[in-house]
Structure 1
Amino acid sequence: MIRKILYLLVAAAFIAAPVEFFARQRFPELADRRQFAELSFIRLLNSGVVYRPGSNYDERFGFLNNPHIRETVRTDEYRYTVATNSLGFRTHEITPKPPGQRRLMLLGDSMFFGVGVDYPATVAGLLETARDSLQVYNFAMLGHNTVQSRIAARAFADQVGPDHIVCGVFIGNDLLTNALNYPDENNHIATHLDQVAASRKRLAAALAPFTWSTALRVAAYSVYIPRLRYQWAAAPDIIAATCDHLAAIANTATTVGSTFATVLIYPKDAVAGGPVEIWSQSRRPGRRLAETCRTRNIEIIDLLDHIEGPTDRDRYYYAQDGHLNAAGNQLIANLIAKHYLPPPATTQR
């Protein structure tokens, strides 16, 4: 019996040794425990949460694009041009509202920003084309969360004078950071540093069984941390934090005489369903958020009510990048127009 056990141990070592060697060579950044811990926390949040002075730093929002830029972004999947206004947003300059003009204010992250598409094919550009006399001000920004959307609404809604405010929430990375950030008394982004420390400690405990081997760290980083992200994001206190921020935006909308609605956008694997979604449970936080927000009378467009399955994933998302493609932007523009904007006036004969 002892010989059999020794034989199995030796055989396991012969298998594990080359796997570990390959992992260390292929993923050297995960071989160091401190670096593994930092990278794991970044992957868990899938977004920034603590902002410090540096490139594109902004005191109010944490970071913004530079004002008055015009640059073309190229990848293997797309090519698009970004132009920003004097505030650093991909939108019009704020001007006095003329009589008869209707305005819509968009808030959100890169999903509403329009990654991969030129302005006419963004949600904002498409809505302006679909409705006469409608001007859309898009304050969505790469990497922003719902807290920064709340700050933007409070900062600019009175100047814009919108008839409608629509905020996009991306289930893939907004919910956890929404619980860690908050607007301070000056309407600037701030961070619950004690909660960040507690989250780091909790993550370290969850990853403890994987830390003794680089190969196991690679496995944890690739497939286990995304599962943790969505498990934690579905917790009642995390859901409540996002609902609180959305309720605050709704209050701002009411103050300026605007309607308010939220669009819930899911990662492409959540839309596709199947084994990856079953493992990660990436649909559950969005469904819980929709249910909770509706009990608080927050209008919700849940994207999963309109698209589902691998075909829709391939139709509406970039395969590698994961952002909404031109068809995805068109889908959301159509949903917003259908639910919240009256149809164009017809000519009487």
Structure 2
Amino acid sequence: MMEGPIWVAGAMSGTSLDGVDAALLKTDGRRIFDFGETRYRAYREEEREVIRAALGLWPGDAGVELAAEVAETAHAAVLSRLKGAEMVGFHGQTLAHDPRGRGTHQAGDGQVLADVLGLPVVWDFRSSDVQLGGEGAPLAPYYHFACAQWIGADRPLVFLNLGGVGNLTWVDPRLNGPEEDGAILAFDTGPGNAPLDDLMRARRGMARDEGGALARSGSVDQVIVKAAIRRPFMSRMPPKSLDRNDFSDILARIEALPDADAAATLVAITVACVAEGLTHCPEPPARVLVCGGGRHNAAMMAELGDALACPVEPVEAVGLDGDMLEAQAFAFLAVRVARKMSTSGPMTTGVAAQVGGGRISRPRV
């Protein structure tokens, strides 16, 4: 475990609550050597409802233990299908994130997975960062730096992740590592897909606006968009992070809008927040590479292309897998934890110094 590249399985279940992504990555914690197979396990609707009912709750609250069990069962099922891993990176299911208050809460016990899978499991990646004054998010930026070097980028670029919450990583690949001053800047931009998914579920009984079809047929309420980007969060200097529910009141603002106009307005809010976020970057990016479910929304991608002053493309344009990037990131971070390397720093989470988070659980049988 102390040197050379190894195969690691990483898993991620995001705030969109769609399911668990799992991926194999060969890495030494600094560079990407190879990509392995990937798997996906969707949450069944009854499982999703258990997790949704626990959103905003903390350890010990009623409903949390059941949500953790759902997450553990789903992760064990999908990770057991990946063969050849020497270690696992397990993010868990975020239920609450309040770094300036109660902390951060990812449901799921790594020891349970270690015992089931018979492999060392690295987990609880965020707590140490928050305890030391950081935001605890986003955590994928160090992996984004490795991705930028893997694709041979020679100018600053942005990785934009549009999951339940939007976040971006500005990367300067001309430097040697993500720990260097000026190598990266990362922060949450605002809502991603969560409000739109919630709207579709409430009004149409659908998991998402497939392909952005509904949003493309609607008109944007610019008054609501402008109100969203006047929030205090938007003017805060990064690094900064959000909870999935921090923008939940937006749904109340669009209640009177027809379905299509409401969907179009939510897409416009996400795009406006991203555009505002890019003004904080140290240097304009040469391109924006989009990962996460938002890249499948044609309305969102078209509006991003119109709003931003550089090419906007899905990460598949450079040979990466936008559905699995975050799962791969936690495989990458697992190696960094095991080898006592940092996983976050001042320009990713705002923590005062480089921090190596995470716990390691080894099989007991």
Shorter-chain TM-score category?
0.3 to 0.5
Q: Which has the larger share of helix?
A: 1
TM-score by length of 1: 0.35
Question: Quick one: higher RCO (CA 8 Å, sep 6+), 1 or 2?
Answer: 2
Larger Rg belongs to:
1
Q: TM-score, normalised by structure 2?
A: 0.33
